[in-house]
Structure 1
Amino acid sequence: MSRVLFRTAALLCLALSLSACAKDRPGLVARGGPTSEVPYRLGPGDKLRITVFNQPTLSSTYAVDASGNVAMPLIGAVPAAQQSPAELKRVIEARLGKDYLREPNVSVEVEGYRPFFIFGEVNQAGQYPYVAGMTAEQAVAIAGGYTARARQDSVQLARRDDAGVARVRVPMTTVIRPGDTVFVHERWF
């Protein structure tokens, strides 16, 4: 009897130690939902429509590059990663107003979101264009549906925020955001 108790205790300790290694932050997903007050944070791969009013040579579509910058004429590389469009607008206005324009008026809009990624037990894992308001269930459908071995009640979602990357198990109704990584696990039985 003591041997069974020892094994059970050892398995429990192992499970607790493994769960402590994961950076689960359930609030992360709640903060990123469709009704969230948190502004969208820009990242590499986003395409932006930046309009500098009365300056057609500066107004164009710009991409956030791999290092998180937007390269603009006159002012060069502007850090955009982890900023909201409104924050980026203020930075661009400040840089243009410093040496080039008097009271610049800038507009920053997201024209195209960075892709999301889906892996695991789906028929066509990979990178896909983001669709606004998409749920985890819709992401699976975009990836060709489940394999025969897929767990279909939840997925693991990896999302980057200011604190790093968090991995959280979420229901299929969870809204996916640009840059998220969705992993569909294999079911046990």
Structure 2
Amino acid sequence: MKLNLLIAALLALVLAACAPNAVLAPGDRVASTATAVETDYQLGVGDRIKVNVYNEPALSGEFAVNDAGNVSFPLIGDVRAAGTTPSEVARVVQTKLADGYLRDPKVSVEVAVYRPYYILGEVKAPGQYPYASGLTVVNAVATAQGFTPRAQKGVVFIRKFGEDTEKPYELTPDLKVFPGDTIRFGERYF
């Protein structure tokens, strides 16, 4: 009787470990999806912005945020872009152009191309992919040609752009990916 009870308990433990939605070990914390919501996009290295200076086509165009986090503009030189929003960059460019170059300039800035995201681990085609607005982790997995047979599908590890450590998240259909994020899927053991 005790042997049957022990075998049943071991079998239940093994089946629980093999379950595709077995998430984390006891005591591990899972970050909530609510923390993944950003309100205003911060520019970073690898982004390309489109600048429009009204009635000044020679000063308008697409510009890349360089490795130093700056954007080089005609006439005014480098403007700090990394860590700022497109509207903040527009204000700085407008102020600098108004300081001796143009009378009452009107400047708008928008993101033309977002920095890429990265997906690693147990997906069929890990690598760097272009970001598209509204991207979810499920979409990113589809872009990477799906999971490998050994993928742990219940938990995804995400390192947000600019952070040093990755955090575990429960894989849900609405879990968002942001530009520059690194997504990693671990390997399941059973």
In structure 2, the residue matched to 1:171 is 170
In structure 2, the residue matched to 1:42 is 43
The higher radius of gyration belongs to 2
Unaligned residue ranges in structure 2 (runs of 5+): 1-24
Q: How many residues end up aligned between the 2 structures?
A: 163
In structure 1, the residue matched to 2:92 is 91
Name the CA distance, whole Å, in 2 between partners of 1:31 and 1:146.
25
Q: How high is the sequence identity, in percent, across the aligned residues? A: 42
Question: Residues 57 and 67 of structure 1: is their aligned pair in 2 closer, same or farther, counting only changes over 3 Å?
Answer: same
In structure 1, the residue matched to 2:129 is 128
TM-score by length of 1: 0.79
User: What amino acid sits opposite 1:81 in the alignment?
Assistant: A
User: What amino acid sits opposite 2:164 in the alignment?
Assistant: V
CA-CA distance at 1:91 after TM superposition: 1.0
Q: CA RMSD in A?
A: 2.2
In structure 1, the residue matched to 2:62 is 61
In structure 2, the residue matched to 1:30 is 34
In structure 1, the residue matched to 2:187 is 186
CA-CA distance at 1:52 after TM superposition: 0.6
Does structure 1 retain, via aligned residues, the 8 Å contact 2:30–2:170?
no
1:108 aligns with 2:109: yes
Name the CA distance, whole Å, in 2 between partners of 1:111 and 1:94.
22
Name the CA distance, whole Å, in 1 between partners of 2:170 and 2:36.
14
CA-CA distance at 1:122 after TM superposition: 0.8
Name the CA distance, whole Å, in 1 between partners of 2:144 and 2:80.
32
Question: Residues 32 and 85 of structure 1: is their aligned pair in 2 closer, same or farther, counting only changes over 3 Å?
Answer: farther
TM-score by length of 2: 0.78
Name the CA distance, whole Å, in 1 between partners of 2:188 and 2:154.
10
CA-CA distance at 1:171 after TM superposition: 2.6
User: What amino acid sits opposite 2:122 in the alignment?
Assistant: E
Unaligned residue ranges in structure 1 (runs of 5+): 1-14
3-state SS of 2:124 partner: coil
1:121-144 C-alpha deviation (Å, 9 max, x unpaired)? 111111001121111111111111
User: What amino acid sits opposite 2:34 in the alignment?
Assistant: A
Does structure 2 retain, via aligned residues, the 8 Å contact 1:149–1:187?
yes
Name the CA distance, whole Å, in 2 between partners of 1:176 and 1:150.
19
CA-CA distance at 1:30 after TM superposition: 2.6
